[in-house]
Amino acid sequence: MEIGIMAKKALLVGINDYAPAGPGGPDLRGCVNDVRDMANTLSALGIVPAAPATMQILTDSRATRAAILRGVKWLIADAKKGDVLVFHYSGHGSQMADVGGDELDAKDETICPHDYATAGMIKDDDFRTLLAGLPAGVNLDIILDSCHSGTGTRELAAMAATSDSGSVAYRFIEPPIDWGFFLDANPSLPVRGILRPEADDRARTPVVVDRLNHVLWAGCRDNQTSAEALIGGIYRGVFTYNFCKVLRGAGPAITRLRLDAQVTVNVRGMGYAQVPQLEGTKTSLSERVFT
């Protein structure tokens, strides 16, 4: 019996320009640069070849809800044990009230496609449904450099007093009223504020999730915002910048736990309050990254 060749594929999504195309949307400046940085890093380290057959890139108006969902289906199509798959998203994030009852905090995290205002956001439940049939042994890393905070606007207000609004932006979109109203109006939904400095050590602990069929890298905790800033004269996501920098310096032999720890230290060293969050099984977290 012939053993199939291990596949290496990546779907990279970065959205600076939100609908309507051009000026007028809740635009960002560092997300396309994040995608370029991630593509170069994955290619240079031999993790995923930079070729149309193995790497799909969606940016700005091409990164619609339908296109992103099609891209995820392409990424996991015919996946088999040993395959290396990477999904990276850089853009706005948000939250909505969980109506399925499967979230401990009663909130669903979302990412915001280019056309989110008309087509809708993509919920973590959508990803869960798509990945339900992923075969055992597939190495799927999902990297999200976006905000996951129902209290993000209040954190923005607190940060505005100390940040240069021209050089730092936060990747959060207020959810529409039909989704967002119940986050704060329903007393059963916890309202969480800004992470206290004394909680940093606990926040750095990766989350072990038994039987999780992928590894999740989040640019911040689900009650925080992810920042983008002018770094070396170029707008970039603070998390993606440090993720790629540490990975390029250490090489693909670094374990996920060590990569997460070093990225977290670097983000904190730059003066940002966001705490990256790593989730996976105990085994996957201790393995070399992207294996």
Does the annotation mark 92 as catalytic? yes
Task: Catalytic residue, from 31, 112, 147, 244: name it.
Answer: 147
**Rounded-to-integer distance, Cα 268 and Cα 121, Å:** 30
Task: Please give the structure tokens belonging to residue 259.
Answer: 């990569």
Write the CB contacts of 29 (distance below 8 Å, at least 6 apart in sequence): 16, 169, 228, 235
Taking the CA atoms of the chain, what radius of gyration do you get in angstroms?
Answer: 18
Task: Catalytic residue, from 31, 88, 92, 112: name it.
Answer: 92
Of 248, 224, 244, the closest CA to residue 234 belongs to: 244
- Catalytic sites, residue numbers: 92, 147
